[in-house]
Chain A
Amino acid sequence: MNRLDQFSGLFWLAISIIACVESVRAHIGTFENPGPGFLPLWAGVILGIFTIVLLIMSTLRKRVEDKITNPFKGLDLWKIILVMASLFAYSFLLSWGGYIIMTIGLMVFLFSVIRRGRVWIDLTIALITVLASYIVFFKWLDIQLPKGIFWF
């Protein structure tokens, strides 16, 4: 059995079902007059059919022929988790803290994820990066970066 394909297959089956249900809700129409749900339904059906094929094949595949190993084995998964968690936290707090403060904090944190360096060097690089990006994107390209509660 290929557990990876089985696990992912369940995910795709759920997506397929959701797509089909929502498509019906959006009105499928007819072949003469296809509605908004026409192509999403067919796409959902195709996804579902091939997911079932994948699940059947992964179940029937013999273990001795199955050389799939754990794809996360031996990897520093905690780095991935830390990076993603920090990025999500940054996104949610960006409007509150403002671009400059939140981004300095994010940069200093991310610099230390792979390997810790000297704090003052990381802080300096972060400051230069944030200031440069602020000038380029806010001043030059006129992108309205969030100011936050500190008004900068």
Chain B
Amino acid sequence: MDILHSLYYGFSVGLQPQNLFFCFVGCLVGTLVGVLPGIGPIGAISILLPATFRMSPVSAIIMLAGIFYGAMYGGSTTSILVNIPGEAASVVTCLDGYEMAKQGRAGPALGIAAFGSFIAGTLGVIWLMLFAKPLSEFGLKFGPPEYFALILLGLTLITYLSRGSVIKAIMMGAFGLILSLIGLDQMQGSPRLTFNIFQLMDGIDLVPVAMGLFGIAEILENIEQTVSTEILKTKIRNLFPSLSDWMQAKGAILRGSVLGFLIGVLPGAGATISTFVSYAVEKRVSKDPDRFGKGAIEGVAGPESANNAATAGAFVPLLTLGIPANIIMALFFGALLIHGMLPGPLLLQDHPDLFWGLISSMYIGNGMLLILNLPLIPMWVQVLKIPYRVLFPLILLFCIIGAYSLKNGVFEIILMLVFGMLGYLFRKFGYEPAPLLLAFVLGPMFEFNLRQSLMVSRGSLLIFFTRPISAVTISIAIILFITSFIFYFRKGKGHKPSTG
């Protein structure tokens, strides 16, 4: 009953006209971002983060959340029609979605993707709602050692799960940590790593780093070679899947929802990994696995459900424990801080309007997205025809204005461009930016809890092993760290799914 009352309160917040408007804007922008290859939800959220400064915190988070789960809906459109994923979490949908489109079944593919996303998204929000309060109460038992251990686990997981070299992932994490500590020391107020540059006294802002590494760098990668996109010329008919489509896909949707939510909760994992896992599971449980890759509807339903459930799952550790589960949640973490809210176990208690308003907006947003994604598919197809030579300068302009608006100065633009160049070079030299950004966001919290713990224990590291939660968490982190190296040296540069 308590949950029902809270949900009722949440809807009273979510249904306020300005919140409804920003939910719609977020869903629309998210779908657009998902449809358009060349910019993903990370870039979009980074770019639009400065635009939220003048909104209320609740409206800001509602809009940004709309972009996040909206992109999951929109990404399936280009995967199915163009065989180019709109964003990373839609890569797997290309395998069977495009095949279905070639067989004249683009409509059922798009339809099952949209309906599966809706069902999974709704289930994910329900589970988020049910798990949040008990987890928050559990989180109240956390002290500095537990928080340090949990952040360490998150950083370890993201390096464990990153594609390519584990060594490079650790190096990026260390670099991100260094960058996060530039500026005035939060405890003693003395400058460090500022090189006497006045503008660095306040530290480096999240926005130029995120926009540079993910927005600018992605644009540079896209313009380095001309890629033509040819939209499959097929009539999109029968967007409502048939009964036999539903019978085939229902198991995949439910399994995808559960898997996606659980994977989304894990720090370091994300929507992309959930889609790969879901696809693998569907292939495994199928009576005829040879159909996969040739237009199996389960190959669309499962991953598309998983990525939407994962978006809801990703909110769990952020809103209850204050630990971002992936890069996008790291941006949300930054957004909450910018709006004067401290993510953590007390968020639910201190800002129930934010939490329950967000929950209700996710219910509303899922409904909006179903409407946006089905009847408006022909419109999204037209959007795909905008030439990239026109699109990328517009995206760059948004980035520039976003960076400039932080402090009304050119320094942040230059910083963003520097990170843009670095991000591009990182991709070329095989370094993933995800561990850098996560470490950058978590660095100050990591340092604060480490120093607090050491001061309490008078310098003894045993404090992390004598407290049960911290001991278990750090042990898991150590085991993952060691196994990632065993895996790395046994298989060489094995390909692992990317995060985020």
Contacts and interface: CB of A to CB of B under 8 A. Distances in A.
B171 A12 contact: yes
B292 interface: no
Interface in A69-90: 71-72, 74-77, 79-80, 83-84, 87-88, 90
B177 interface: yes
A6 to B, nearest CB: 11
B390 A50 contact: no
Give the one of B388, B397, B417, B446 with max A CB within 10 A: B397
B201 interface: no
Interface residues of A, number: 68
A34 B192 contact: no
B contact face: mostly helix, strand, loop, or mixed: helix
Contacts of B167: 50, 53-54, 57
B401 A43 contact: no
Interface in B141-168: 165, 167-168
A25 B219 CA distance: 38
Interface residues of B, number: 62
Contacts of B486: none
A43 B178 contact: yes
Contact of B190 (A30, A36, A44, A90): A36
Given A12-B171, A72-B428, A125-B390, A40 B54 contact: no
B190 A27 contact: yes
Interface string B385-400: 0011110111011001
Contacts of A53: 167
A114 B389 contact: yes
A25 to B, nearest CB: 8
A5 B165 CA distance: 11
Interface of B: 51, 54, 165, 167-168, 170-171, 174-175, 177-178, 181, 185, 187-188, 190-193, 195, 219-220, 223-226, 387-390, 392-394, 396-397, 400-401, 404-405, 408, 410, 413-414, 417, 420-421, 424, 428-431, 443, 446-447, 450-451, 454-455, 458-461
Given A19-B178, A77-B224, 7 more contacts: A12-B171, A43-B178, A47-B178, A50-B167, A80-B223, A87-B400, A142-B54
8 contacts: A4-B429, A23-B192, A38-B447, A40-B193, A47-B171, A50-B167, A92-B410, A110-B393
